[in-house]
Amino acid sequence: MDQPLAYTLKMKIRSVYIIDDDSITIFGLRKLLDKLYKDLVIHEFENGKTALDALTRLQKQNKPLPELIFLDINMPIMDGWAFLDEFLKLPNTSTVTIKIITSSIDIRDREKWKSYVKDAQHRIDFITKPIYELDLVDLQVAS
């Protein structure tokens, strides 16, 4: 049950953004990520706007973008979809894995996600809460 994970991390991940306004989800994600990665830098944003501003700043300063972004859909000011719209418009970005995390089981959210997956240069996943370790593990076995 409690044995250490036996897979190798195929992807080198140094920096992670968590864009979510729910402190419990953030706590959970941090806890799971801490287990999988060493020396990981995690940034938290309470809505899409603050995260987008940070990413734009990084690009202007020619600094590397985070390899992984956890994105909540329902947030005030700028929600997950709006963030995606804006982020996908950013030019010349490195490939980022975006994991949409939602408690929504609304089929329309899933359809919307599929419409983004089709032509994005980034990898976009869709995870329905609750989040388990395995949800984060697949990002290592794939790619």
Partner 1 sequence: MKAIGIHSIDYLVKQLPHPVAFINKKFKLVAASKAWLEYFETTMHEARESNLLHLWNNKEDALWEQQLRKCFKGSREFGVHYSTDKSGKELWSKWTALPWYDEAENIIGAITSLEDIGGQLEQEAKYEKLESLLKEQSEITKVGIWEYHVAKDRLTWSEMTRRIHEVPSDYEPQVDTAINFYKQGHSRNTIAMLVHNGLHRGTPWNKKLQFVSAKGNEKWVIAAGKPLYKNGQITRLLGTLQDVSEQVTQETKTKESERLLRTLIDNLPLNVFIKDTDSRKILVNKAECEYVGVDDPSKLLGKSDFDLYEKDIAQISRDEDLQVMKTKKSILGKRTVNVKKNGATTAFLTSKIPWLTLEGESKGIIGISMDISEIIQKEDQLRDLINVTAIQNKKLINFAHIVSHNLRSHTANFSMLLDFLIKEKEENEKERILGMLGKASENLTQTLENLNEVVAISTNVNLEKKSLNLNQEITKVQESLAAFLRKHQAKIDNQISDKVYLKAVPAYLESILLNLLTNAVKYKHPERIPEITLSTRKQKEHIVFNIKDNGLGIDMGKYGNRLFGMYKTFHNNKDARGIGLYITKNQIEAMGGNIMVCSEVNRGSTFSVYFKDEN
Alpha-carbon span 67 to 69, nearest angstrom = 7
Residue 85 or 94: which CB sits closer to partner 1? 85
Cβ 105 to partner 1 shortest distance, Å: 7
Cβ 81 to partner 1 shortest distance, Å: 9
Cβ 94 to partner 1 shortest distance, Å: 26
Cβ 12 to partner 1 shortest distance, Å: 26
Query: If you write DSSP's letter for every residue of 120-133 in order, what string do you get?
Result: -SSEEEEEESSP-H
Residue 82 or 120: which CB sits closer to partner 1? 82
Residue with tokens 């609750």: 130
| Helix, strand, or coil (residue 54) | helix
Contacts of 102-108 with C-beta under 8 Å, sequence gap 24+, read 102/72, 102/73, 102/74, 102/126, 102/127, 102/128, 102/129, 103/128, 103/129, 104/73, 104/74, 104/128
State the residues that interact with partner 1 by CB under 8 A.
Answer: 1-2, 21-25, 27-28, 31, 46, 74-79, 82, 103-106, 129-132
